[in-house]
């Protein structure tokens, strides 16, 4: 982490598609609150095939990058170093660039998930369920390795995905069991349910939310609330949303890229809420 201030620094979020990203809103709000008036944060549409050329074209003003799909794994061979956290799930969502141009990959999604859950008072659970089996699901398993003392059941749509999740469990030291998506309603009785699926995928489960449910962590933030999150709240269950994750992982990115800590969590959350509110109106 940098400990000295360097003027005129740049950062950005890369991915495809990227127009929807709230990262510029969050990071710019942090820069303004921290007095980093000479820092800028942008977004760039970058596909996997374009990533090597983009990185090669960065000049010394660049301090860091946020990465979204489909770049989180593709970037790894292009880096000088990768943190243990990122290596554990083979996914980098943060690149810190030092004064010599050295690129270090990290993953703030995993600690961001843990921070978002801690904020809602979830520090340990005896079991959990994960809906889905994509890249976010592997990060969820990594987070659960630090707070779940018992089995985690992953609900997936194919045996190939099931095998993949069991493999991640072995790698991360999590007792992962798998079940077919047709049984996904069974997940809703777990003390902690992490939904990592695309928009609309869990809508069919909303009518099946039990009375007095545990905690739901739905990683989506737009549209929000999802049908599942709304039904969960209606039954009195605590809900952690995608904006909570986005803000907490962005806080860590700001700290890594700027060397300034703590980043202004409340300011960044308010900026994100306002941007989403404007988008929906």
Q: Is 231 part of any domain? A: yes
* Band (281; pLDDT cuts 50, 70, 90): low
Residue 3, pLDDT score = 39
What's the CATH number where 235 sits? 3.40.50.720
Residues 79 and 164 reside in one and the same domain? no
Residues 96 and 141 reside in one and the same domain? no
Secondary structure of 28-43 in the HEC alphabet? Answer: HHHHHHHCCCCCEEEE
Structure tokens at 114: 């843990």
Mean pLDDT of 87-113: 96
Residues 256 and 203 reside in one and the same domain? no
Residues 235 and 123 reside in one and the same domain? yes
Q: Is 205 part of any domain? A: yes
- Average pLDDT value for the chain: 95
Residues 126 and 50 reside in one and the same domain? no
Residues 194 and 210 reside in one and the same domain? yes
Domain count, the chain: 2
What's the CATH number where 88 sits? 3.40.50.10860
Residues 60 and 122 reside in one and the same domain? no
Chain segment 47-93, per-residue pLDDT in tens: 999 999 999 999 999 999 999 999 999 999 999 999 999 999 999 99
Q: Which structural domain range is residue 54 located in?
A: 9-106+249-279
Q: List, in order, residues 6 or more apart from 270 with CB less than 8 Å away.
A: 29
Residues 221 and 135 reside in one and the same domain? yes
Give the CA distances from residue 49 to residues 13, 121, 256, in Å, rounded to whole numbers and listed in that order: 16, 42, 27
Q: Is 4 part of any domain? A: no
Residue 231 has pLDDT above 80, yes or no: yes
User: What whole-number percentage of the chain has pLDDT above 70?
Assistant: 97
72 is known as an active-site residue: yes
Residue 228, pLDDT score = 98
Q: Write phi, then psi, for 155 (nearest 5 degrees).
A: -105, 120
Residue 5, pLDDT score = 47
Mean pLDDT of 116-121: 96
Residue 2, pLDDT score = 42
Residues 95 and 141 reside in one and the same domain? no
What angle separates helix 135-144 from helix 109-119, to the nearest 10 degrees?
60
Q: Which residues pair with 64 in a beta bridge?
A: 11, 96
Residue 135, pLDDT score = 83
Buried b (16+ CB within 10 A) or exposed e, 124-162: ebebbbbbbbebbbbbbbbbbbbbbeeebbbbbeeeebb
Mean pLDDT of 220-228: 94
Chain segment 36-48, per-residue pLDDT in tens: 999 999 999 999 9
Of 27, 72, 103, 161, the active-site residue reads 72
Residue 8, pLDDT score = 86
Q: Is 17 part of any domain? A: yes
Mean pLDDT of 207-215: 97
Chain segment 190-204, per-residue pLDDT in tens: 999 999 999 999 999
What angle separates helix 265-280 from helix 242-258, to the nearest 10 degrees?
130
Residue 7, pLDDT score = 63
Residues 230 and 256 reside in one and the same domain? no
Q: Is 71 part of any domain? A: yes
């Amino acid at each position: 982490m940098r400990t000295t201030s360097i003027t005129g620094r740049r950062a950005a979020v890369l991915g495809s598609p990227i127009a929807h990203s709230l990262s510029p809103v969050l990071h710019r709000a942090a820069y303004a609150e921290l007095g980093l008036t000479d820092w800028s944060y942008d977004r760039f549409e970058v596909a996997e095939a374009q990533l090597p050329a983009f990185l090669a074209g960065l000049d010394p003003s660049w301090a860091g990058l946020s990465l979204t799909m489909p770049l989180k794994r593709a970037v790894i061979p292009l880096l000088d170093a990768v943190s243990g956290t990122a290596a554990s799930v083979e996914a980098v969502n943060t690149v810190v660039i030092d004064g010599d141009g050295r690129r270090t990959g990290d993953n703030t999604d995993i600690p961001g998930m843990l921070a978002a859950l801690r904020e809602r008072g979830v520090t340990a659970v005896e079991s959990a369920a994960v809906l889905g089996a994509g890249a976010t699901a592997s990060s969820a398993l990594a987070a659960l390795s630090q707070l779940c003392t018992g089995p985690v059941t992953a609900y997936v749509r194919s045996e190939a995905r099931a095998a993949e999740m069991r493999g991640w469990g072995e790698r991360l030291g999590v007792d992962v069991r798998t079940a077919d998506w047709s049984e996904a309603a069974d997940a809703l009785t777990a003390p902690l349910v992490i939904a990592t699926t695309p928009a609309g995928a869990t809508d069919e489960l909303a009518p099946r939310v039990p009375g007095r449910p545990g905690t739901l962590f739905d990683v989506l933030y737009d549209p929000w609330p999802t049908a599942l999150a709304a039904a969960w709240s209606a039954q009195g269950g605590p809900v952690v949303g995608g904006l909570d994750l986005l803000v907490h992982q962005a806080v860590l990115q700001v700290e890594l890229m700027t060397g300034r800590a703590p980043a202004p969590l409340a300011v960044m959350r308010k900026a994100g809420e306002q941007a989403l509110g404007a988008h929906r109106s």
